[in-house]
Structure 1
Amino acid sequence: MSRRPPPHTDPDPVLITTTEELVPLCERLRQEPFVTVDTEFMRERTYWPELCVVQLGGERDTAVVDALAPGLDLSPLGALLADEHVTKVFHACKQDVEIFYLRFGTTPQPLFDTQIAAMVAGFGDQASYDSLARALANASIDKAHRFSDWSARPLSPAQIAYAAADVTHLRRIYVALRDRLAREGRLDWVAEEMAELADPATYATDPDRAWERLRPRTGNRRFLGALRAVAAWREREAQRVNIPRQRLVRDESLLEVAATAPADAAALARVRGVTEGFARGKSGTSLLAAIEEARALPEDALPELPRERVGPSPSPALVALLKVLLAAKAEEHQVAPKLLASSEELDRLAAEAPADLPALTGWRRRVFGEDALALRGGDLALGVEGRRVRLIRPG
């Protein structure tokens, strides 16, 4: 069984720039029970995140992998991330996992996110890496290079040291949280949360549903058909030219395009935020073609706004009681309230209590959901004892 390094003793960081260096590193890390992982990337000027640096932390290795190094093959890293015998430890991992999904076509397995684990362990909503490093690793984080241009080369010694710190302290944070949650019998709670983050469907995008993010305020199906078409066009075109969708065409301009359905470049150029050059160029031409296709759709092929849930409105008083219960249960179990139930879930719970509500499934049901249903059904009351809320059960 591997021995952890002495407290506060970390391997010196090594910069990896060649495949010949990466292969033995990943082979060593695949012999360990867990590896800490982080990334540095740029996305301000591109649609797709540009992976610049990957940090890896092991018992005897701290590596900063230059993902932009010429000729570097990242396949050994993909094999490490896919190795189900090695737990991949991240902090706030969703963007990192998305990057690896886009690069390797699969998500790292198994996952452990220390931010979510910290919420389960009572460190509040969205505990930062800095705060956990102070609390659990007795370390402070130098934030000077947080907004570095990670695509610039060469990487400076200070950048390398900053990047390495993101995985060295993370090892001690992970061990502390893992051991604490194991003692409290809550590791399975974290495992349930990891299922969604590890699901490739979480990171798959469907351009034909991009229009829903714009939250249109009208049910006019002809307008919605045009909006679906131009939003899907923008998504695919932004991917093709690799620029942020808002830099291609802003939301407000896209909504106006859908509303006016311009038939030629001159009309398109009259839309606020659309230039003459864009309207007459390759992108403008393809946008006009998308509008024309939407214009030709028959009525039965046009989209509709998602149907609002039909049912009684929730009682504000009952919602308020459920909020008190949520706070009391979160305090009792030392878990972040946000992780137990959202405000929208409380509204739905008060109105209809659907069985598929996350608060009524898995560990959340045991901690909060059962008592929420009892409160809703009149089988539980709330009182005050000293300075705490007390649950009062019949009999």
Structure 2
Amino acid sequence: MTMITTTDQLEQAVAALTQSDFVTVDTEFIRETTFWPELCVIQLASPDHTAIVDALAPGLDLAAFFKLMADEKIVKVFHAARQDIEIIFHLGNLIPHPVFDTQVAAMVCGFGDAIAYDQLVQRIVGAQIDKSSRFTDWRRRPLSEKQLDYALADVTHLRDIYLHLKSSLEAEGRTEWVLDEMKILTARETYDMHPDDAWKRLKMRLRKPVELAVLRSVAAWREREARERNVPRGRVIKDDAIYEIAQQQPRDAEAMSRLRTIPKGWERSNMATGLLNAVNLALDLPKEDMPRLPKSVQSPEGAGAAAELLKVLLRLVTEEHGVAAKVVATTDEIDRIAAEGDADDIPALQGWRREVFGEKALQLINGELCLKFENKKIRAVEWPDAKTATENNQISTAD
């Protein structure tokens, strides 16, 4: 198949694709040496048409493609959509809508946690994808027929997968479950992260407010540097260095030179000046302005054994409903339910997740539900004395 390389060709292809109520979409990109992904190829397919676009073609205007992504009448179907949406948002300043992510839908339909596209193709379509072109340098031209075939397979099989999953969701009454997930996936704040929030991407190994203040300030500085220079975050400074800086809190170049994670001589560079400014800015904050660890990443006291029981319950209900555990509740959410109970900001206690798991989870920690091992199987059963136990507990508390 010939790649689209001109604006006229792209406009004609989009005109044909818009005759359908859905379009499958995939992108090929390179980002190993840059902060922003470099879009190389766009693949599109409807039931009757396919197109493969050379996004690097000189003079090519992608306006028609972005218009298609914004067309509310056409569902844009992706598999594992986040990185594709990130590229579209960066280049076109828009979030595709409406969107259907087959990886999310597959989890809701019981295909396991984050199933890979080639596995989904095999299980639903019964086809095998040749993955030998998976690590192609998509910037090189010309692309071979084998590479083009590999790229197109990412959207042609996706048509059948979409129709299959859509039908399954409708039959099971779970369409709204996926639509709820798509609202999160297509929220602008998911992709338009402020540099001051970059620290929330890091694993929270630290607890003290002063350490978190330095962590936040240095992570924000690194985010701005990486974006401005268009280099990966790790090329500016590694995560391990950020943690050490947050703990050691160097105020000058001499103190920085003693850090294990800082390369020798780096403390005299121009970037080091900006980094030290970020550290001192954080250290000079009033204590009341220093951050506290977000609830979602704290290790709540009292979680312990209750959390372990909740994990067993999660496995039971997800097996019963034929849905992946990962899409119902995370480990952090389970820990918080165990420690805090019915908190408003825990996703597992909202919407369809509450119906499937959340209500039973609250019953379990409140003593209204128990896990029973019988005939070599574990079952969740209502505790017959739950009401009496609750009343007695209230009386004891009052006394």
Question: TM-score normalized by structure 1?
Answer: 0.87
Aligned to 2:11, which of 23, 26, 29? 23
1:363 corresponds to which residue? 352
In 1, the alpha carbon distance for the partners of 2:371 and 2:228 equals 57
Q: Give a deviation string over 1:57-115, Cα, whole Å, max 9, x none.
A: 11222211111111111111111011111001111111111111111112110111111
Aligned residue pairs total 378
The one-letter code matched in structure 1 to 2:292 is L
In 1, the alpha carbon distance for the partners of 2:379 and 2:108 equals 22
Does the alignment pair 1:234 with 2:229? no
Find the residue that maps to 1:97 and give its secondary structure. helix
Aligned to 1:128, which of 113, 116, 141? 116
2:390 corresponds to which residue? none
Which runs of no fewer than 5 residues in structure 1 stay unpaired?
A: 1-12
The one-letter code matched in structure 1 to 2:228 is R
Does the alignment pair 1:112 with 2:100? yes
2:286 corresponds to which residue? 299
Find the residue that maps to 1:151 and give its secondary structure. coil
Deviation at residue 347 of structure 1 after TM alignment: 2.3
1:87 corresponds to which residue? 75
In 1, the alpha carbon distance for the partners of 2:207 and 2:372 equals 46
- Structure 1 residues 281-292: aligned runs within 5 Å: 281-291=269-279
Whether the aligned pair in 2 keeps the contact of 1:229 and 1:291 (CA below 8 Å) is yes
The one-letter code matched in structure 2 to 1:304 is P
Whether the aligned pair in 1 keeps the contact of 2:100 and 2:182 (CA below 8 Å) is yes
In 1, the alpha carbon distance for the partners of 2:303 and 2:276 equals 45
2:36 corresponds to which residue? 48
1:168 corresponds to which residue? 156
Deviation at residue 169 of structure 1 after TM alignment: 0.5
Residue 310 to residue 159, structure 1, CA distance change in 2 (3 Å): closer
In 1, the alpha carbon distance for the partners of 2:9 and 2:340 equals 58
The one-letter code matched in structure 1 to 2:227 is Q
Whether the aligned pair in 2 keeps the contact of 1:130 and 1:141 (CA below 8 Å) is yes
Whether the aligned pair in 2 keeps the contact of 1:17 and 1:72 (CA below 8 Å) is yes
Aligned alpha-carbon RMSD (Å):
2.6
In 1, the alpha carbon distance for the partners of 2:193 and 2:355 equals 33
Deviation at residue 384 of structure 1 after TM alignment: 5.1
Deviation at residue 303 of structure 1 after TM alignment: 1.9
The one-letter code matched in structure 2 to 1:322 is L
- Structure 1 residues 257-296: aligned runs within 5 Å: 257=245, 259-264=248-253, 271=259, 272-274=261-263, 276=265, 279-291=267-279, 293-294=281-282
Residue 152 to residue 344, structure 1, CA distance change in 2 (3 Å): same
In 2, the alpha carbon distance for the partners of 1:384 and 1:293 equals 57
The one-letter code matched in structure 2 to 1:327 is R
2:60 corresponds to which residue? 72
Which runs of no fewer than 5 residues in structure 2 stay unpaired?
A: 385-399
The one-letter code matched in structure 2 to 1:63 is A
In 1, the alpha carbon distance for the partners of 2:7 and 2:365 equals 60
Is 131-140 or 23-32 further displaced after alignment? Answer: 23-32
2:368 corresponds to which residue? 379
Does the alignment pair 1:392 with 2:375? no
1:7 corresponds to which residue? none
Query: In percent, how many aligned pairs have the same letter?
Result: 46
In 2, the alpha carbon distance for the partners of 1:157 and 1:163 equals 10
Residue 199 to residue 59, structure 1, CA distance change in 2 (3 Å): same
Residue 82 to residue 280, structure 1, CA distance change in 2 (3 Å): same
Whether the aligned pair in 2 keeps the contact of 1:53 and 1:64 (CA below 8 Å) is yes
Whether the aligned pair in 2 keeps the contact of 1:226 and 1:261 (CA below 8 Å) is no
Find the residue that maps to 1:166 and give its secondary structure. helix
In 2, the alpha carbon distance for the partners of 1:87 and 1:194 equals 12
In 1, the alpha carbon distance for the partners of 2:115 and 2:209 equals 43
The one-letter code matched in structure 2 to 1:303 is M
Find the residue that maps to 2:312 and give its secondary structure. helix
Is 254-263 or 29-38 further displaced after alignment? Answer: 254-263
1:338 corresponds to which residue? 326
Q: Give a deviation string over 1:147-204, Cα, whole Å, max 9, x none.
A: 1111222222211111000000111111111111111111111111111001011112
- Structure 1 residues 170-189: aligned runs within 5 Å: 170-189=158-177
In 2, the alpha carbon distance for the partners of 1:206 and 1:156 equals 40
1:156 corresponds to which residue? 144
In 2, the alpha carbon distance for the partners of 1:89 and 1:107 equals 13
Whether the aligned pair in 1 keeps the contact of 2:206 and 2:212 (CA below 8 Å) is no
In 2, the alpha carbon distance for the partners of 1:307 and 1:108 equals 30
